[in-house]
A and B are shown apart, each in its own frame.
Chain A
Amino acid sequence: MASIRQFLRRLLGKEDVRAISRRYFISNGFDGTLTSIGIIVGAVLSGVPDGYTVIKIGLGAAVGLGTSAVWSVWEIERAETRAEIRRTERAMLKDLDDTRVQRDQSGARFVHAIMSGLGPLIGVLIPLTPFVVEGTVVTMAEAALIAVGLGIGVLGAFGAYMGSISGQRWYVAAARMGLAGLVVAILNLFLPG
């Protein structure tokens, strides 16, 4: 157990592992949040009668996007790391199977896949939370408004985080990302039907 912790600490101590995980997390989280806003606005405007149904639709999207994020990154990273190891093996004239190099690459792939899947889960699930109390505390329209607000907030948090690590003004980066949520919500309002 201690060695697994040590292994993970070593992996997460590597800047390249953190940077790639961060990209997958934010990129797929962005997708998830915008999908969630789209589903919520679309569902409410289409006359879905209760919050429970919106949650069920949203959970379907979360499962789909989460699986896609984990699966695609797992396969992408598998190919990329294999290619990298093969380049090193050619230079070393040596098989690197079962060495620390290969173990670190596999561990990094696992971390990337998990972070990639976590992004859309957070992005989809947080905006859905107002629908849990729909019918008791808020109406469908109010829940949708709060959900869009939460979605914009999640996008803003992603933006603020990216802004803070890149030395930009965090509130400008947050506003830029949050704007995407607002654009999706408005575009959905004007969709036919």
Chain B
Amino acid sequence: MAAVRRLVIDVLKPHDPPLLTFTNQLADIESVEGVTSSLIELDQEVQNVKLTFESEDLDFEAIEETIDNLGGSVHSVDQVACGDSIVRDRRTLQDA
């Protein structure tokens, strides 16, 4: 099976642990080389964050398990890049 090189997911998490700790914990996963988290929406009890992972071969199950353990839940998988290299998303006429 082709290696997953980039993964963009939408996650709902409680305020605690804070985003910095949350992202740090995700970066500690063995298969993850780098992760970027962006706050999308802030609610009274929860935060909606976008997480972008990059690596040679991402282990989605380990990522999901860690998010679950930190109290978060994966809402949707928004982008996946697989294969030997990451292919840039190109604009088409329909996107205009």
Contact = CB atoms under 8 A, between A and B. Distances in A.
A87 B71 contact: no
A101 B73 contact: no
Contacts of A9: none
A99 B45 contact: no
A87 B16 CA distance: 13
Given A100-B17, A101-B14, A104-B16, A88 B70 contact: no
A189 interface: no
A93 B46 CA distance: 11
Nearest to A99: B71
Contacts, number: 38
A101 B16 CA distance: 7
A191 interface: no
Nearest to B43: A91
A2 interface: no
Contacts of A104: 16-17
Interface of A is mostly: helix
Interface residues of A, number: 13
Contact of B46 (A91, A99, A100, A102): A91
Interface in B43-89: 43-46, 68-71, 73
A171 B90 CA distance: 69
A100 B69 contact: yes
A52 B43 CA distance: 60
Interface centre among A91, A102, A104 (most CB of B within 10 A): A91
A143 B71 CA distance: 55
B12 interface: yes
A3 to B, nearest CB: 14
Contact of A96 (B17, B43, B44, B71): B71
B69 A99 contact: yes
A84 B73 CA distance: 18
A100 B44 contact: no
3 shortest interchain CB distances as A-B pairs: A91-B45, A101-B71, A99-B71
A106 to B, nearest CB: 13
Interface in A86-139: 87-88, 90-94, 96, 99-102, 104
